[in-house]
Amino acid sequence: MELRLTDTQYATIIGNCYDGLPNEACGLLLGPMTGRMSGGVPTGVVSEARPCVNADASARTYTVAPKNMLQAMRAAEAAGTEIVGVWHSHTHTDPFPSPTDVRTAVDPSWMYVIVSLKHGAPQLRAYTIANEIITEIPVAILAR
């Protein structure tokens, strides 16, 4: 699997992360799944990057606001897609899942995107997290 973002989606994610400072920011990724009924996985294509509110309002943790989650679920259903992942920022650490990120990973099929703002220029990396096993997945930024 490869996470495929358009340059516009990438800009939306990075902008959301900066807008969230000093707290962590978060958002949801919508896109198609393959074989969802039989334990499907995202195709890697993202049809929409939806910025959300961090209900924790914290620089150390994030929770997608329930209202935003419901809106994303409805939008995905209307578009014939699924929620295929989530992103959040790390304001002072590298773009690697923390123990809290691993513990709170809600869906083993999702792509988990982390944007680190620690080093000046943002660093975006993506992972799957299943049964506490972290696997990095490649990211492609595509011209729209």
Q: How far is CA 73 from CA 20, 34, 41, 69, 114, in A?
A: 22, 17, 17, 6, 21
> What is the pLDDT, as a whole number, of residue 36?
56
Task: State the residue range of the domain holding 43.
Answer: 3-142
> What is the pLDDT, as a whole number, of residue 137?
96
Q: Which two tokens stand for residue 63?
A: 């929770």
Give the β-pairing of 82-90 and 139-142. unpaired
> What is the pLDDT, as a whole number, of residue 89?
96
> What is the pLDDT, as a whole number, of residue 41?
83
Please count the structural domains in the chain.
Answer: 1
CA distance 29 to 40: 16
> How many alpha carbons fall within 13 Å on the CB side of residue 22?
0
- Report mean pLDDT in 10-residue bins for the chain, 144 residues: 94 96 96 72 91 96 96 94 95 93 91 93 95 95 85
> What is the pLDDT, as a whole number, of residue 70?
97
Inter-residue contact 111 to 127 (CB < 8 Å): yes
DSSP conformational letter for 121: S
> What is the pLDDT, as a whole number, of residue 39?
61
Q: Which two tokens stand for residue 57?
A: 């309002």
